[in-house]
Amino acid sequence: MATFISSSLQIIGDYRAELGETPMWCARSQSLLWVDILQQRLLRYWPDEDGRIEIHAMPPFTSAVLLTELAECFLVVSQQGIALYDYAHQHLEFFCAYPANAQGTRPNEAAIAPDGSLWFSSMDPQAKRAIGSWYRLNGKSDDVQHLTGNLLVPNTLQWVDDDIWFADSLHHTFYRATFQADSLNIQQEYPVSGIPDGSTLTTQRQLINSNWGEHCLTRYQISGAELQEVDRFDLPVSQPSCCTFGGSTLSDLYVTSASCGLPHPKAVDGGLIKIETTLTGSLSHQFKF
């Protein structure tokens, strides 16, 4: 039984995503943004404003909407390319094309690195072929770097000291890698049970992972090159997809989920979950121009 939960969980709002992903806490506005990849939607939730939720249309296969240095101007990662999104005017301005060598794929995981660059992955839309890759985009250039390939479903992206931790969901494996000479070099593999999807990191270097298809979260402790499972926490949704910390103290854990592929989805499948915890996350990095 997980010991990091301080109260019962909540299901936020009535929206049920086909494929909810990439929750991102905006400290400036005290709001949470996440996407429904298959329904081409951006959702935004203000917990301190009577639970207000706004929903905006997005380009096909938008997998992430991330922070930039500019207030209310977000970075959109989609199959059409990388764009800046003026939230107030709902205006998209594309400035970087989707990688030419990623044709036949769609974007999946995405995050801003500590240096302010964008990292994102690609995958086979049917999740059958190992044609996925990791890419990096420096805000001072419009050239996308190809970092590594031959992946099935690249997920999870966290930086710990000089290491980058990621997962390949359908290889049931976490990886520890380093970024050197414009490439991602895998140092060690960590096979796990189940399907590891998106993750978040605590200030104590604990990796909280959403276990797709297993209706639970798994907490791991990262200690140098070691990855050790600590405990698990059951969820009411069948397919938790990603998680992040938010709230004024960054101790509220938000978990996205998906209803796609379920023959008989429950009423809560695809919902956004909020869990009050005894843990603390860190502020998200911002894309630097």
For the chain, how long is the longest CA-to-CA vector? Answer: 48
Q: What is the CA radius of gyration of the chain?
A: 17
Cα angle, residue 283 at apex, residues 280 and 285 outer, rounded to 5°: 145
Residue 168 has pLDDT above 80, yes or no: yes
Confidence of residue 182 (pLDDT cuts 50, 70, 90): confident
The answer to whether residues 189 and 174 touch, using CB atoms and an 8 Å cutoff, is yes
| DSSP secondary structure of 141-209 | --PEEEEEEEESSEEEEEEETTEEEEEEGGGTEEEEEEEETTEEEEEEEEE-SSEEEEEEE-TTSEEEE
pLDDT at 8: 80
Paired tokens of 2: 């997980």
> Could you read off the pLDDT of 222-257 as tens digits, one per residue?
999 999 999 999 999 999 999 999 999 999 999 999
Domains annotated for the chain, with CATH where assigned, are 10-276 (2.120.10.30)
**Residues 6 or more apart whose Cβ sits within 8 Å of residue 66:** 22, 24, 74, 75, 77, 110, 111, 112, 118, 284, 287
Residue 275 has pLDDT above 90, yes or no: yes
Region of poorest pLDDT, from 11-20, 41-50, 176-185: 176-185
> Could you read off the pLDDT of 59-88 as tens digits, one per residue?
999 999 999 999 999 999 999 999 999 999
97 backbone dihedrals φ, ψ, rounded to 5°: -75, 155
Alpha-carbon gap, residue 286 to 113, rounded angstroms? 8
Residue 1 has pLDDT above 70, yes or no: no
Which of 36, 124, 168, 197 does the annotation list as catalytic? 197
Q: Dihedral, CA atoms, 114, 256, 220, 251, nearest 10 degrees?
A: 70
pLDDT at 49: 96
66 backbone dihedrals φ, ψ, rounded to 5°: -120, 165
174 backbone dihedrals φ, ψ, rounded to 5°: -95, 155
21 has binding-site annotation:
yes
> Could you read off the pLDDT of 186-209 as tens digits, one per residue?
999 999 999 999 999 999 999 999
211 has binding-site annotation:
no
Alpha-carbon gap, residue 49 to 27, rounded angstroms? 14
- The whole-number average pLDDT for the span 36-41 is 98
pLDDT at 114: 97
106 has binding-site annotation:
yes
* Alpha carbon separation from 90 to 119, 148, 221 (Å, rounded): 24, 34, 40
Give the predicted TM-score (pTM) of the model.
0.97
Confidence of residue 5 (pLDDT cuts 50, 70, 90): confident
> Could you read off the pLDDT of 108-125 as tens digits, one per residue?
999 999 999 999 999 999
- The whole-number average pLDDT for the span 263-277 is 97
pLDDT at 192: 97
**Residues 6 or more apart whose Cβ sits within 8 Å of residue 261:** 239
- For the chain, give percent helix, strand, coil, nearest 5: 0, 55, 40
pLDDT at 141: 81
Residue 197 bears catalytic tag: yes
